[in-house]
Chain A
């Protein structure tokens, strides 16, 4: 066996997930495994990482590619390590998400879908409703929801990132 590109920490975590499903249903853990793999790699998946997940989960590689390319929470191209997703769906839009988007784009000099040159910030393209409509406009920064945004509040949150 050649060594997996998944590190031990990731493998342990995936195995922990695998424990929750029947042994013949390993593929149930694919979403979790991809999330772990993406986390290990600073926010995006490579073909090698997806192949390694396929191996661990006993799935055809293409089936893993299908999942990874379907869900918007996985990035399959290199991107900045902080993932910023500003909801632009109807409730947030009515509450002024355009202002937030404009502000952030100007702040970093990049458009939605792009990353900053220093590899720190990635602005996710056109995020849909994240089910926090009551607190719109809202955004998700890495794993954390931030609601009732104003440009000032956004600055505060983003400037605190390392």
Chain B
């Protein structure tokens, strides 16, 4: 027993605890129930509800267990007459203003107030006066409010301030008139806002999309892993008669703690979209028509054979797919003799492929993200790309970690950056180069280095990284998809090596890591071993038309780096086989065979997260109509093609096979060898530069179809944003409609004032229906008043 340990007795039971712990933490750990509302283990102690009152010997009155530190030899009674009376009294007070509308409340059956009232309350109230009523304000499409039910525990307010880092809810008014809310009518904007639904102990905040659709006790709960970002947050899927009714977090301290992003919580709404493909289809006389599986499979087989025969078969598979699907697509491609396979649809510079890591990864555990002394994030809107990882990084910052950014836009963060550099996107590498110079990094591997002088900001970043015990240099998707990615990677590596920081990648899609492991790249086999000669990468495959494409889970108009160009390339193909869960306008345009696949929750599948952690989902619900798990589709295709070694009888067999191939993989983001990289100076000079990201709710086909997410604040992205000086220069105003001309394509968009956008830039996101016609996310554009 260390000095820090103390002994106490609770309800006659001897317990040990650490000095400084609150009583409720100790009793929780020991499995002794103390009722509570305001206390939450992840939030600060507010001690405002008084529900946790217990009797402590020698104390003159009952004490709140959540705010009473343990003391040596303390004797606590949680069920004594004094304690029970105190709890009952509190309960009666809390119910004075509560509407007791449990029969029409969504929280009924999983309500802390209901449970505690049953366990600790009286059966009747002495209160006969009128109750307080609170008028509700609309706070967005994700959270429904019924604030008359609120018991003012302030958990939701503390969540905003302490965890999400955006104060949107507050307690306004005083005394009898206190109410929790946004005060003004406004959609909450946090990307993790849905967590207040879980922590609200009553039915004041409930999930709007699933409201009134089922009773909690009728739902079945199944563990799963969320597929939308490379964290793989743990979730429970709640099923109502074989239909996904809602998604809630599943605690995992190593990954998502007790939180999930709104994207992971509400994406399931896309499962029930009218776009779901339910029958195979083939093109006849120019029209896509429904057909049976045999016909479609035979058409696919013919197409694959003829494409492969001509040496012109390209396979593009989206990294939101499961490991098994990706591996099967890859195995099929390679068995047909092609290495033209890739998942990196948004990437534009592939020149680092030869020296790329076998699986770009985080380089550390997710827990490590919260104890960094310094970090430099390059090219990532991490808060929207990896919302839960960003919460961890925020903890580092709050603990004094110096977190800096080099981003094409000064993305609003939920903590104070140490230095936030926002050069124009084309000059990203120059900015990083200045930091490298300031850090005195060895840039010997870079040919044609420009001479760039660092200023104080670059020197500060370099010094902070150097002086930190735990430091990381992170490359996000805006770096990986940058036209000078190889240069950025080489610079990042040079800096990281010099300052002794971990080089981290922040893969954006749900299974990016899995796609690398499954060999869905043109230069590596499954398991990461390099090929003698590489196949065509995504860029090449979409630059000019191939004879045949196999597209797995891909929506080119949103996923491809150059959406407009990719659509053209595929339109010129002879055969396009689409394995997809969703129909789309573009599939109707270019597909010659459509094979309907199972979506998330509908089939077994594994996701590998950014730390290389493998997690598998079971199939929980039946795929709609004739849709089938994609691994099975590939299995049957392989059979029909008479390919060897591909006759799996269960998907777990596939998992095991990939596992054995990955047994010796060494995760290392640093490149070996002394290969030289040309310093690519991308420079659009005086031209107005269009820059954009793929927004949070547009990353994969499932989220794209979640109507509530699209209607939420983060879903509204179709704007041309410019800083004030830029608006003046072009003589336009916030809210005007303008025509953007990029490479001959014209798109009309509303203007938005945003001073986070650099000079001479217009921020126009990709991945949107409204902007798909424009093409690359980094290009010179003209704007005209419409």
Binding site for B on A (CB under 8 A): 1-2, 47, 60, 62-63, 65-66, 69-72
Bound-state Cα–Cα, A47 to B172, Å = 13
Q: For A67, give the chain B residue with the smallest CB separation.
A: B172
B167 touches A63 (CB 8 A): yes
What would 4 more interface pairs be, CB under 8 Å, given A2-B753, A62-B172, A63-B167? A60-B170, A62-B170, A62-B183, A69-B173
Pairwise interchain contact B172-A66, C-beta atoms closer than 8 A: yes
B168 near A62: Cβ-Cβ < 8 Å: yes
Q: Is B167 within 8 A of A1, CB to CB? A: no
Shortest A51–chain B CB gap in Å is 9
Contacts A1-B724, A60-B167; A47 near B184 (Cβ below 8 A): yes
A70 to B174, CA, bound (A): 5
> Which one, A2, A47, A66, A72, contacts B170 given CB within 8 A?
A66
Within 8 Å CB of B755, what residues of A?
A: 1
Q: Is B166 an interface residue, CB under 8 A from the partner?
A: yes
Closest 6 CB pairs of A and B: A60-B167, A62-B170, A65-B183, A69-B172, A66-B170, A70-B174
What residues on B are CB-neighbors of A62 within 8 Å? 167-170, 172, 182-183
B169, B174, B755: most-surrounded residue (chain A CB, <10 A): B174
**Is there contact, CB below 8 Å, between A70 and B172?**
yes
- Smallest beta-carbon distance B433→chain A, Å: 31
A11 to B169 CA separation, bound complex (whole angstroms): 27
- Which B residues touch A1, using CB under 8 A? 724, 755
Q: Is B171 an interface residue (CB 8 A)?
A: yes
Cα–Cα distance between A72 and B350 once the two chains are bound (Å): 64
Digit string of B126-158 for contact with A (CB within 8 Å is 1, else 0)? 000000000000000000000000000000000
Q: Select from chain A the residue with minimum beta-carbon distance to B753.
A: A2
Least CB distance from A38 to B in Å reads: 16
A104 to B251 alpha-carbon distance, docked (Å): 62
Mask, B738-766, CB within 8 Å of A = 1, is 00000000000000010100000000000
> Hey, which bits of chain B sit against chain A, CB under 8 A?
166-174, 182-184, 724, 753, 755
A-B contact count (CB 8 A): 35
Query: Bound state CA distance, A155 and B170, in angstroms?
Result: 42
| Cα distance, A60 to B166, chains bound together (Å) | 8
A63 to chain B, nearest CB (A): 6
Residues of A within 8 A of B171 (CB): 66
Cβ contacts under 8 Å, B166 to chain A: 60
Contact B174 A63 (CB under 8 A): no
Chain B residues with CB under 8 Å of A47's CB are: 184
User: CB-CB < 8 A to B173: which residues of A?
Assistant: 69-70
Task: Kindly name the residue among B169, B171, B755 whose own CB sees the greatest number of chain A CB atoms within 10 A.
Answer: B171
Pairs A–B under 8 Å by Cβ, sample size 26: A1-B755, A2-B753, A47-B184, A60-B166, A60-B167, A62-B167, A62-B169, A62-B170, A62-B172, A62-B182, A62-B183, A63-B167, A65-B170, A65-B172, A65-B183, A65-B184, A66-B171, A66-B172, A66-B183, A69-B172, A69-B173, A69-B174, A70-B172, A70-B173, A71-B174, A72-B174
Report chain A residues within 8 Å CB of B724: 1-2
Give the nearest-CB partner of B182 in chain A. Answer: A62
- Collect the chain B residues with CB atoms within 8 Å of residue A71's CB: 174
Chain B residues positioned under 8 Å from A60 (CB to CB): 166-168, 170
**List of A residues within 8 angstroms of B182 by Cβ:** 62
By beta carbon, the residue of chain B nearest A68 is B172
Find chain A residues with CB under 8 A from B183 CB.
62, 65-66, 69
Q: Write the chain A residue with the least CB distance to B179.
A: A69
Q: Which residues of B contact A70 (CB under 8 A)?
A: 172-174
B753 contact set on A, CB distance < 8 A: 2
Which B residues are in CB contact (< 8 Å) with A2? 724, 753
CA distance A120 to B168 in the complex (A): 35
Q: How far, in angstroms, from A1 to B173 measured CA to CA in the complex?
A: 31
The CA of A62 and the CA of B185, in the complex, are separated in Å by 12
Most buried by B among A2, A47, A63, A69: A69
A120 CB, min distance to chain B CBs, angstroms: 27
User: Among the interface residues A1, A62, A72, which one has the most CB atoms of the partner chain B within 10 A?
Assistant: A62
CB neighbours (8 Å) of A63 from chain B are: 167, 170
Alpha-carbon distance between A72 and B173 when the two chains are bound, in angstroms? 9
Determine the distance from Cα of A1 to Cα of B728 in the docked complex, in whole angstroms.
12
Q: Which of A63, A70, A72 has the most CB of B within 10 A?
A: A70
| A84–chain B nearest beta-carbon distance, Å | 21
Nearest Cβ on chain A to B755's Cβ, whole angstroms: 7
Assembled-state Cα–Cα distance A47/B183 (Å)? 9
Per the bound structure, the CA–CA distance linking A124 and B323 in Å amounts to: 68
Instruction: Please measure, in the bound complex, the distance between the C-alpha atom of A2 and the C-alpha atom of B755, giving whole angstroms.
Output: 10
A153 → B minimal CB distance (Å): 32
Residue of B nearest to A65 (CB): B183
Smallest Cβ-Cβ distance to B183: which chain A residue: A65
Q: Specify which chain A residues have a CB less than 8 angstroms from the CB of B174 in the assembled complex.
A: 69-72
- Please give me the residue from chain A that is nearest to B173 by CB atom: A69
Residue of B nearest to A69 (CB): B172
CB distance from B674 to the nearest CB of A (A): 48
Whole-angstrom distance from the CB of A144 to the nearest CB of chain B? 25
CA A1 – CA B169 in complex, angstroms? 26
Could you say which residues of chain A place their CB within 8 Å of the CB of B169?
Answer: 62
Distance in angstroms from B176 CB to nearest chain A CB is 12
Q: How far is the CB of B4 from chain A (nearest CB, A)?
A: 33
B114 CB, min distance to chain A CBs, angstroms: 29
Distance, CA A131 to CA B753, complexed state (A): 49
Considering the complex, give the chain B residue whose CB is closest to the CB of A47. Answer: B184
Nearest-neighbor residue (CB-CB) of B181 within chain A: A62
Residues of B within 8 A of A66 (CB): 170-172, 183
Q: How far is the CB of A76 from chain B (nearest CB, A)?
A: 9
Residue of A nearest to B171 (CB): A66
Chain A hits for B170, CB < 8 A = 60, 62-63, 65-66
> Residue on A with the closest CB to B161?
A60
Instruction: Please measure, in the bound complex, the distance between the C-alpha atom of A63 and the C-alpha atom of B167, giving whole angstroms.
Output: 8
Query: What CA separation (Å) do A60 and B174 show in the bound complex?
Result: 19
Assembly CA distance A47 to B137 (angstroms): 15
CA distance A66 to B173 in the complex (A): 7
Nearest chain-B residue to A59 (Cβ)?
B167
Give complex CA distance A71, B173 in Å.
Answer: 8
Interface centre among B172, B173, B174 (most CB of A within 10 A): B172
